[in-house]
């Protein structure tokens, strides 16, 4: 699924990075625990999280996640944005709760990265 479509589904806005049309996202991972993320995450997954500190970006970098979406309208810190910019990671934010965000993406056909 194209990033633009994901943004529409989640009513998300961009906090950092460019919405590239050539990226195709098929899987979603959702967690607020970084070690948990690292057990199931697969490259090119969309990561949904309620954490907004730079550690999220570091985790994504190691796991080769290129897109992170923060839930419940949380705004990433300046350090987080700076680091994401450095690592070429796109940051979104949405007003949706974790449940709502997951539900909408699931209904739209995206799958859990544990399933792949």
- Residues engaged in binding other proteins (CB under 8 A): 32-36, 38-39, 43, 49, 51, 53-56, 58-59, 61-64, 79, 87
If you write DSSP's letter for every residue of 45-64 in order, what string do you get?
Answer: PEEEES--SHHHHHHHHHHT
DSSP 8-state class, residue 98: H
Q: Least separation, in Å, of the C-beta of 103 and other proteins?
A: 22
Q: Which is nearer to other proteins, 51 or 67 (CB)?
A: 51
Q: Least separation, in Å, of the C-beta of 57 and other proteins?
A: 9
Q: Which is nearer to other proteins, 2 or 58 (CB)?
A: 58
Q: Least separation, in Å, of the C-beta of 22 and other proteins?
A: 19
Task: Look up residue 61 and give its two tokens.
Answer: 């970098």
| C-alpha to C-alpha distance for 44 and 64, rounded to whole angstroms | 6
Q: Which is nearer to other proteins, 7 or 40 (CB)?
A: 40
| C-alpha to C-alpha distance for 82 and 87, rounded to whole angstroms | 9
């Amino acid at each position: 699924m194209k990033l633009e479509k994901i943004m529409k589904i989640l009513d998300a806005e961009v906090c950092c990075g460019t919405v590239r049309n050539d990226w195709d996202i098929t899987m979603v991972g959702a967690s607020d625990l970084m070690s948990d993320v690292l057990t199931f995450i697969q490259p090119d997954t969309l990561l949904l999280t309620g954490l907004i500190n730079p550690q999220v970006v570091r985790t994504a970098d190691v796991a080769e996640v290129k897109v992170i979406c923060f839930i419940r309208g949380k705004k990433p810190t300046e350090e987080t944005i700076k680091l994401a910019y450095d690592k070429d990671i796109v940051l979104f934010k949405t007003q949706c709760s974790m449940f709502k965000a997951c539900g909408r993406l699931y209904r739209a056909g995206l799958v859990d990265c544990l399933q792949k």
